């Protein structure tokens, strides 16, 4: 691996950059970001080696696109316009259907691999980038058949070197499933945080009583609205469907409480305990 360009040098892109630099010591990692402060931080922290622009992508062996999904819709076609025939481009967006449709008929569609590494933290920016973020994480690959085999091999070899598990899925199925296991989790966390903040206006001691359960549940509410609003917008139909089901379950649970049917409350929780076996099986 020689020249790698990372577009978006925050948590996701920066973590890729750090791992690539560690795996391939002779590789030069270039950073592209419309936030000049992020570029300077990434240079100072050693996340990237040099600053670059999209018009300089002609010598790139690999391009990592790690920016909000609404920006990806605009930037990905421009990236494909500027690369050579031997360059592989992959993104890390949490939605896939709209992005795949955007470049479906692009002359260099074969150079693009639609990916979603399911990894991250609640933090953002170059300072949030960490080595080993992707180890033992799942990476969803969509429409792999539309990417030239020799080019997709470059990306898949990187993912293997990072210790990632690969799953293949079509974009529509990806967006539907990720609405349940990721997007709904973030909305729940944001709204729990909102509920507690509004209550805290009148009860100042509430955060003194917040334990590890609250902290872990509300952790995702620290996530970047600039990243998550476009995700919710692009995956609106699926997210609304999951919210309808979630709200229905909350109302049902509330009704059991109102009816003082705590035997049913116990049963609801006992049945849901099964999720620990599912998650342990995944790990």
pLDDT in tens, 120-143: 888 889 999 999 999 999 999 999
pLDDT in tens, 191-222: 998 988 887 766 666 666 666 777 788 888 99
Name the band, by pLDDT with cuts 50, 70 and 90, for residue 275.
Answer: confident
Question: What is the pLDDT at residue 117?
Answer: 96
**Contact indicator for 126, 151 with CB cutoff of 8 Å:** no
Distances (CA, A) of 143 to 6, 113, 148, 168, 207: 22, 8, 11, 8, 46
pLDDT in tens, 146-198: 999 999 999 999 999 999 999 999 999 999 999 998 999 999 999 998 988 88
CA distance 191 to 197: 10
CA distance 66 to 92: 5
CA distance 10 to 67: 8
Please count the residues of the chain. Answer: 283
CA distance 183 to 228: 8
Q: Which two tokens stand for residue 242?
A: 């999951």
**CATH architecture entry for 174-282:** Orthogonal Bundle (1.10)
- Mean pLDDT (the chain) is 93
Question: What is the pLDDT at residue 215?
Answer: 78
Residue 43 CB-density burial (10 A; 0-12 exposed, 13-18 middle, 19+ buried):
middle
Question: What is the pLDDT at residue 282?
Answer: 56
CA distance 159 to 23: 11
Tell me the DSSP string of 70-101. HHHHHHHHHHHHHS-TT-EEEE--S--HHHHH
In the chain, which segments carry CATH 1.10.3660.10? 174-282
User: Is the predicted pLDDT of residue 283 greater than 60, yes or no?
Assistant: no
User: Is the predicted pLDDT of residue 277 greater than 80, yes or no?
Assistant: no
Question: What is the pLDDT at residue 209?
Answer: 67
List, edge to edge, every strand of the sheet that includes 138-142: 50-51, 28-32, 3-7, 62-65, 88-91, 112-117, 138-142, 165-169
**Contact indicator for 86, 61 with CB cutoff of 8 Å:** yes
CA distance 116 to 109: 17
Q: What's the angle, vertex CA 105, arms to CA 100 and CA 110, rounded to 5?
A: 75
In the chain, which segments carry CATH 3.40.50.720? 3-170
Helix (H) or strand (E) holding 131: none
Name the band, by pLDDT with cuts 50, 70 and 90, for residue 63.
Answer: very high
Backbone phi and psi for residue 36, each to the nearest 5 degrees, phi listed first: -60, -35
Question: What is the pLDDT at residue 121?
Answer: 84
CATH fold for domain 3-170:
Rossmann fold (3.40.50)
Question: What is the pLDDT at residue 208?
Answer: 67
Q: What percent of the chain has pLDDT over 70?
A: 94
């Amino acid at each position: 691996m020689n020249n790698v360009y990372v577009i978006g040098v925050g948590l996701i892109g920066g973590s890729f950059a750090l791992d690539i630099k560690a795996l391939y010591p002779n590789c030069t990692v270039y950073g592209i970001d419309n936030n000049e402060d992020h570029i300077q931080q990434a240079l100072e922290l050693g996340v990237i080696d040099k600053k670059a622009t999209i018009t300089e992508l002609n010598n790139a062996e690999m391009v990592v696109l790690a920016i909000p999904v609404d920006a990806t819709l605009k930037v990905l076609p421009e990236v494909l316009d500027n690369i050579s025939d031997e360059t592989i481009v992959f993104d890390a967006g949490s939605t896939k259907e709209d992005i795949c449709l955007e470049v479906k008929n692009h002359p260099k569609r074969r150079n693009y691999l639609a990916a979603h590494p399911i990894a991250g933290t609640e933090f953002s920016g170059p300072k949030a980038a960490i080595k080993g973020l992707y180890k033992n994480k799942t990476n969803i690959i969509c429409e792999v058949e539309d990417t030239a085999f020799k080019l997709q091999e470059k990306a898949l070899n990187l993912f293997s070197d990072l210790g990632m598990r690969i799953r293949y899925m079509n974009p529509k199925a990806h967006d539907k499933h990720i609405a349940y296991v990721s997007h709904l989790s973030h909305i729940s966390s944001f709204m729990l945080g909102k509920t507690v903040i509004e209550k805290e206006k009148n009860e100042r001691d509430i955060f003194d009583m917040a334990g590890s359960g609250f902290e872990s549940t509300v952790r995702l509410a620290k996530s970047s609205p600039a990243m998550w609003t476009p995700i919710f917008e692009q995956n609106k139909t699926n997210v609304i469907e999951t919210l309808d089901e979630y709200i229905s379950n909350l109302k049902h649970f509330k009704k059991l409480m109102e009816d003082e049917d705590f035997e049913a409350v116990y049963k609801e929780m006992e049945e849901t305990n099964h999720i620990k076996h599912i998650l342990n099986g995944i790990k």
